[in-house]
Structure 1
Amino acid sequence: MTQRRLRIAVLNRVFDPAGGGAERYSIALVEQLAQRHEMHVFAQQIRHHAPGVTYHLVSMPLRKPRWLNQLWYATATWWATRHGFDIVHSHENTWHGQVQTVHVLPVKHNLFHGRTGLRRLLAWAKVWSSPRLLTYLGLERLRFRPCKGRHVVVTSASLGDTLAITYPGTAATTSIITPGVVLPDAPSDDAKKRGARIQLGLPPEGRCLLLVGNDYRKKGLGTLLQVLRDLPADVVLAVVGNPGQIPVFERQAQAEGVAERVFFLGSLQDVTPAYRAADCLVHPTLEDTFAMVVLEAMAHGLPVVVSSAAYCGISSLLSHGADALLLDDPQDAAKLAGTLKQVLGDEALRQQLGRQARAFASSYQWPDIARQQDAVYFESLAEAQS
């Protein structure tokens, strides 16, 4: 049965592939869905162009404070999309939109989880004295209130569990739609690897570890820099992500005596050359609801060393020693060093992990992910019209 063409508004403040995993998730879905629906993107920063997509630049009278800009964006997009769309799909903390995709832990969870008695009272005092927290918490409560036809999408089962505990009313209308990938035709061979390294300004010889993420502290770069000094001298580290955090970690690299082996590449519009250049992705994250970069690296046939499911959503889908190497404690430098020495020193293990990684990623390709999103749209419409 052919489904009708919908007019869909997508809300994402930053529509730029260099923005991070959440932004790349939204962009990839829009590209896929534009093949069968009329897609409209409402964003304050736009660095993207795709056929069949209409872009609407939302004004930004004040960049800071961020909470005031968030309130402005929510209000401006509500006004712009209140008529004329079959579906409003928000990736942002807004009170409107039939479909709400959640990429991060709820503000309420971060404020109150595990706090009882006096600690909970102090947390509430902090909220009531902070316009920023009041705004974020208020928007979130409105975002997750039960509404006819409203559906919530989370990127991992662990995030869904947290959301259900924090806002029980969302449990019945929550779907899990993970990020996806575009599977390269084949993993990089030696020639492609060397070419990618030259393109990025990396040493063409030796072994290269890769870390990708915008919040270097949360992604475990501090621990990885400690570990690098204990690895063989031909091992270098390429870091992709927010250039604003580079100076702090450059100083740590200097203090650890590894500055000449660390290459900060900044934000990349296309991370593909970095995946091609690397021998292993290292993701000792302290908190990730999914970790799209891990899936992307696996699609390129890279072995990955990643934090366990207690820290990283994708790891609940992985098997230690089969398609990845999982870290029980990403801050355990000795264990991380041992794991990296194991994977860098064993060619057979790297080949096995790379093959299994690619096989795993093949089950999460964007056309299939987009069909799951499509089903949510039509389910939302049917409920709203019933």
Structure 2
Amino acid sequence: MKLAIVRQTYNPNGGAERFVSRALNVLAQDAALDVTLIARQWEDAAGWHTLTVDPPFSNRVKREAGFAEAAAAYFAEFDIVQSHERIPGATIFRAGDGVHAAWLEQYNRIQSPLARWAQSLSRYHRYILQAERQMFTHPQLRKVICNSRMVRDDIARRFGLADDRLTVIYNGVDTDYFHPRLRQPSLRAKPGLPENAPVLAYVGSGFSRKGVATALRAIVPHPDVWLLVAGRDKHAGKFQKLARTLGVEKRVRFLGPVADVREVYGSADALILPTLYDPFPNVCVEALACGLPLLTSHGCGAAEWIHEGKNGWVRDALDVAGYQQAIGEWLAGRAEGTDYAAAARATAEPFTLDRMAAELQALYRELLR
């Protein structure tokens, strides 16, 4: 079976890229699959073929359109094409980035009226919306892989796809690589954290969309709680200034991009991600596998795994008071001896890489039949 997986570029901190890498590493071991990655740029191509497609471009629209046209020219050479980009004509689309219209709607909640008006005129966003609609209505599209029920239901509602064309395959995680044993008090020395302080971790790029401001405000009434912020953002200085304004800067560590995210999980007691829109971030399943309960939003696909007060809490992305209250419940539960770590780990344990690969392989066999 000749299988092509399409992803434009590689970002070592990107959740979609980590999903592709994990899938490729597992699928390449299947002797029945001849796997090719179609990409403009990729860091590691061990164990599979890489077809480099890198047409020149002068702006974002031409970058997306140029890659889509060049990649689609190869689709006929494969039995199955699984695209992680919005390119009409693929056999399978993995909606790892969710629905662009939903992303815009949520992001508009934190933008000024002028910024919303400018965004509505953006050629780039209009192109993505058009490409997305063309892709979902293309006759070659046979299956859409969704990484959460939230995304599945949104696609069905917006584009009228039947249930048999939508399937949910959750992100897999290496449950040995991400494990509660990573949580070591010694890891707290480097960022200067108190050994016994309750520590929340935030992991992700795009601080505005993923809720760093809400996380900072959430710890204000809890003077013993510390916050680790790991990730890249060109406006990080704005959030450091906010931490000073709120009077919590001594309890916050901005780590920037980290080489090994496991050190962050190993230093923390819970993960906070008040994101406006995230179909299902890898950081959530990784943190749960490490035994960290999750405080996240209704706009995050991982909310589907949360049992209130047992392995986490779910609030609106902008509900600062709600997160403050949830942190208070978490602290009270810790004081009473509630084993949040065991509940978090049990949530992630079934979602192994082998399970994800088996579900993908079953999908491919179904399509070939």
Question: TM over 0.5, yes or no?
Answer: yes
The answer on whether the counterparts of 2:216 and 2:248 sit within 8 Å (CA) in structure 1 is: yes
**Does the alignment pair 1:316 with 2:301?**
no
Asked if 1 retains the 8 angstrom alpha-carbon contact of 2:215 and 2:273, the reply is no
Quick check: 1:197 aligned with 2:188?
yes
Deviation at 1:369, TM superposition (A): 1.0
Name structure 1 gaps, 5 residues minimum. Answer: 1-5, 114-122
Q: Say if 1:345 and 1:356 are closer, same or farther in 2 by CA, change over 3 A.
A: same
Contact 2:288 2:345 in 1 (8 A): yes
Contact 1:343–1:350 (Cα < 8 Å) also in 2: no
Corresponding residue of 1:361: 348
Of all paired residues, the percent bearing the same amino acid is: 29
- Bigger shift: residues 235-244 or 90-99: 235-244
Q: Which amino acid aligns with 2:169?
A: I
Partner of 1:247: 237
Which moves more between the two structures, 93-102 or 330-339? 330-339
**2:276 matches 1:286:** yes
Counterpart in 2 of 1:160? 152
1:106 counterpart letter in structure 2: V
Query: 1:110 Cα deviation (Å)?
Result: 5.8
Distance (Å, rounded) in 2 between the aligned partners of 1:82 and 1:306: 38
| CA-CA distance at 1:26 after TM superposition | 1.8
Q: Which letter maps to 1:355?
A: A
SS of 1:61's partner is: coil
Query: Cα deviations across residues 263-282 of structure 1 (Å, max 9, x unaligned)?
Result: 22222343211111111111
CA 1:230/1:48 → structure 2, altered by over 3 Å: closer, same or farther? farther
* 1:24 alignment partner, one of 18, 21, 28: 18
Equivalent residue for 2:257, pick from 250, 258, 267: 267
What displacement does 1:221 show? 1.1
Task: From 229, 232, 235, give the equivalent of 2:223.
Answer: 232
| 2:81 aligns with one of 80, 83, 88 | 88
Runs of 4 or more above 4 Å deviation: 108-113, 348-351
- Counting matched residue pairs gives 356
Amino acid at match of 2:167: S
Alignment of 1:54-65 (within 5 A): 54-59=49-54, 61-62=56-57, 65=59
* Matching residue within 288, 296, 305 for 1:306: 296
Q: Give CA-to-partner distance per residue, 1:68-104, whole Å, 9 cap, x none.
A: 211111112122x234322211011111311100123
Aligned mate of 1:7, from 2, 6, 18:
2
Summarize deviations over 1:202-231 as a string: whole Å, max 9, x none.
Answer: 425233210112221222211211222322
Question: Counterparts of 2:323 and 2:338 in 1: how far apart (Å)?
Answer: 20
Q: Select the residue among 184, 187, 200 that pairs with 1:209.
A: 200
- Deviation at 1:170? 5.1
- 1:96-115 equivalences in 2 (<5 Å): 96-108=89-101
Are the counterparts in 1 of residues 150 and 279 from structure 2 also a CA contact under 8 Å?
Answer: yes
Please give the secondary structure, in 1, of the residue aligned with 2:367: helix
* TM-aligned CA distance change 1:269 to 1:139, over 3 Å: farther
* Equivalent pair of 1:33/1:370 in contact (CA under 8 Å): yes
Distance 2:264 2:328 in 1: 21
Decide which of 156, 169, 174 is 2:161's aligned counterpart. 169
Residue of structure 1 aligned with 2:63, choices 42, 60, 69: 69
CA contact (8 A) 2:145 2:169 kept: yes
* CA deviation string 1:127-164 (max 9, x = no partner): 7x653244222311221124256211111111111101
What is residue 120 of structure 1 aligned with on the other side?
A: none
SS in structure 1 at match of 2:77: coil
Q: Kindly indicate whether the alpha-carbon contact (under 8 Å) linking 1:17 and 1:270 is maintained by their aligned counterparts in 2.
A: no
Structure 1-normalised TM-score?
0.83
What is the TM-score when the length of structure 2 is the normalising length?
Answer: 0.86
Give 3-state SS (helix, strand or coil) of 1:41's partner: strand
Q: Would the alpha carbon gap of residues 18 and 350 (structure 1) be closer, same or farther in structure 2, given more than 3 Å must change?
A: farther
Say which of 34, 45, 49 aligns to 2:41.
45
Is contact 2:89-2:140 (8 Å) kept?
no
Amino acid at match of 1:85: F
What is the aligned-residue RMSD (CA, Å)?
Answer: 2.8
Matched AA of 2:268 = A
What letter corresponds to residue 48 of structure 2 in structure 1?
A: V
Query: Aligned partner of 1:9: which letter?
Result: A
Q: Is the 1:164–1:170 contact (alpha carbons within 8 Å) kept by the matching residues of 2? A: yes
